[in-house]
Amino acid sequence: MSVLVTPNPLREDRDWPSAPPEIAGFHRRMPAYSPTLLLDAPDLAERLGVGRLLVKAETRRMGLPSFKILGASWATYQAICEHVGAPPARWGNINELAARLAYLRPLQLCTATDGNHGRAVAFMARLLGFDAQIFVPAGMAAARIEAMEWEGAKVTMVAGDYDDAVARSAQEAGDRCIVVSDTSWPGYETIPAQVIEGYTTIFAEVDEAIAASGLEQPELVVVPMGVGAFMSAAVTHYRSGSHRPVLVGVEPSDANCVQASALAGGLTHVPGPHRSIMVGLNCGQPSPVAWPRLAAGVDWFTSVDDDAARQAMRDLADAAVVAGETGAASLAGLVALLADPAAREALGDLSGSCVMVTVTEGATDPDAYERIVGRSHDTVGRVLTAMR
């Protein structure tokens, strides 16, 4: 097993501004919005030697198998407001918003993706009556491409990795095309920052669920990292208030660009090919707009291999949680962290502590899921439904 666990040498004890409060209200106007489940996994907690293990299950969000729509929807809305020079007239639901924006058609939304962000952008384009153009890296699974095409997107595979797809998508920007990327580059920072803002709804939901149930706040939170946008949202949330848990980031071993950047003392590119089954995390460089929060706000970095991700998928299935390869990364990272002697000594006794992992996707490739877990995602999902 190829695992690397390191403390963050750049960590700073500082405050970050909280996300705009109107984001939650925006998301509540999206179709089929409801908070995702915050699950208790007592058997896994006992195995890992922690007091309580909470699982924030982003396996079904507004009909999509991932949390990405939270960032894509908010950033798209803000980008359109900027495009037209003002917010649309008063609207109460997505159909009213689409009607108010109909005069903009034909308008295209464009992005690059390893799968989930692209599908979310395509979903948002379909809701608003716009076109969608999605660029993907070579070798993407057919099931993920078909899911984006089902949303009405034109999907183009580039001869290269995720970073090459990002570069290609940037070329599409123009008067009739808005690029909605979750990573940034020089001169393109606003929309990726808004994607990060959108993701903070997840952690606001966690706070609400904990307050309603009387559970204790997590003392340690584990978040997967690709370009770092989602972790940047975690830093925004947990470094702007009074509750400040230990934050742990997880990446694939051969695409650990955030960990490598922290160890190098600045933004670093990890060259490909990035072939991990955790495809949503196969990124060669952190997003520059996310980097300041990653550098200052994360406590520990872990990088794990595909075997660890596969085992985490099985372990989560035993807890009735359907987690795809990328979605299981957080649990794989937690296992690696707790198996590291230096980390365990630094963290102290966790036998009475609450720990939370974020499961960021469901079975986005159902055939691969069944091969790895040995059960279909429908079978595992039915168990969770019966338990609720």
Q: What per-residue confidence (pLDDT) applies to 328?
A: 98
Instruction: Quick: pLDDT tens for 225-259.
Output: 999 999 999 999 999 988 999 999 999 999 999 99
Cis bond before residue 273 (omega within 30° of 0): yes
For residues 2 and 184, which has the higher predicted lDDT (pLDDT)? 184
Instruction: Give the number of other CB atoms < 10 A from CB of residue 375.
Output: 16
Strands 131-136 and 108-112: parallel
User: How many Å from the N-terminal Cα to the C-terminal Cα in the chain?
Assistant: 35
Alpha carbon distance 28, 82 (integer Å)? 22
**Mean pLDDT computed over 84-93:** 90
Instruction: Quick: pLDDT tens for 50-77.
Output: 999 999 999 999 999 999 999 999 999 9
pLDDT surpassing 60 at residue 383: no
Instruction: Quick: pLDDT tens for 11-63.
Output: 999 999 999 999 999 999 999 999 999 999 999 999 999 999 999 999 999 99
Longest dimension (CA), the chain: 60
The structural domains of the chain, ordered by start, are 4-67+193-387 (3.40.50.1100), 90-188 (3.40.50.1100)
At 224, is the pLDDT very low, low, confident or very high (cuts 50, 70, 90)? Answer: very high
CB contact set of 236 (below 8 Å; sequence gap of 6+): 16, 17, 18, 19, 196, 197, 200, 293
User: How does DSSP classify residue 361?
Assistant: B
How far is the CA of 54 from the CAs of 207, 220, 360, 378, in angstroms? 12, 10, 14, 22
**Mean pLDDT computed over 271-287:** 94
Alpha carbon distance 174, 171 (integer Å)? 9
pLDDT surpassing 60 at residue 386: no
Q: What per-residue confidence (pLDDT) applies to 380?
A: 87
CA proximity to 6, closest of 217, 265, 353: 265
The pTM of the full predicted model, rounded to 2 decimals, is 0.95
Instruction: Quick: pLDDT tens for 155-199.
Output: 999 999 999 999 999 999 999 999 999 999 999 999 999 999 999
Q: What per-residue confidence (pLDDT) applies to 115?
A: 76
62: left (phi over 0), alpha (psi -120 to 50) or beta: left
